[in-house]
């Protein structure tokens, strides 16, 4: 991809395309409900993200098309001497641009964004079944230093 890629905060009109990307993979198909009109909970979640100064839903745009999305959350911690962390979640790229460097550009952008917010650490998780994603993040310097656990409610 050329250098004309733009990163910006998502707008309400982008939510449909964001959900479409989230639903367009094996795990997303089981978790998301991409129908028209979109269920209200997506717009409610978008409004909650947009109104929180420590959450950003970012889209990557190229030639006026949304080609990627990620959410970045900034969290203060009492550990690390009261430092801030950035957590990257919900990373997806459009199917037609995969393997063209979009994901690398998105994560690089998110790391730089974390630096501007004075974060001392960037963290992310990926599902254990996403072997390609794990290799992708490791190539970017991320290390699996912790064992993550979840409890579905």
pLDDT at 150: 86
Mean pLDDT of 32-55: 97
- Residue 67 pLDDT more than 70? yes
pLDDT one-digit tens code per residue, 2-43: 678 999 999 999 999 999 999 998 889 999 999 999 999 999
pLDDT at 99: 87
The CATH class that applies to domain 6-139 reads alpha beta
- Residue 1 pLDDT more than 70? no
Mapped onto helix, strand or coil, the DSSP state of residue 36 is coil
pLDDT at 85: 97
pLDDT at 147: 86
Query: What mean pLDDT value characterizes the chain?
Result: 94
Q: In what order do the strands lie in the sheet with 119-124?
A: 6-9, 55-62, 65-76, 84-93, 119-124
> How far, in Å, CA of 110 to CA of 86, rounded?
9
pLDDT at 2: 62
pLDDT at 32: 94
Domain boundaries, the chain: 6-139
Q: How far is CA 43 from CA 8, 11, 25, 30, 69, in A?
A: 18, 10, 21, 19, 16
- Residue 58 pLDDT more than 80? yes
> How far, in Å, CA of 74 to CA of 56, rounded?
9
> How far, in Å, CA of 7 to CA of 105, rounded?
10
Write down the pTM of the prediction.
0.93
**Beta bridge partner(s), residue 66:** 61
- Residue 149 pLDDT more than 90? no
């Amino acid at each position: 991809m050329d250098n004309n890629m733009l990163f910006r905060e998502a707008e309400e009109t982008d939510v449909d395309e964001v959900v479409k990307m989230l639903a367009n993979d094996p795990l997303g198909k089981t978790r998301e409900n991409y129908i028209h009109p979109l269920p209200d909970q997506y717009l409610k979640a978008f409004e909650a993200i947009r109104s929180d100064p420590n959450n950003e839903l970012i889209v990557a745009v190229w030639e006026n098309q949304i080609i990627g999305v990620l959410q970045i959350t900034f969290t203060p911690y009492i550990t690390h001497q009261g430092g801030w962390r950035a957590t990257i979640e919900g990373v997806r790229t459009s199917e037609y641009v995969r393997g063209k460097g979009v994901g690398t550009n998105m994560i690089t952008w998110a790391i730089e964004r974390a630096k501007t917010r004075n974060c001392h650490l960037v963290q992310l998780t990926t599902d254990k079944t996403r072997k390609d994603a794990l290799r992708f993040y490791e190539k970017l310097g991320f290390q699996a230093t912790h064992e993550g656990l979840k409890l579905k409610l």
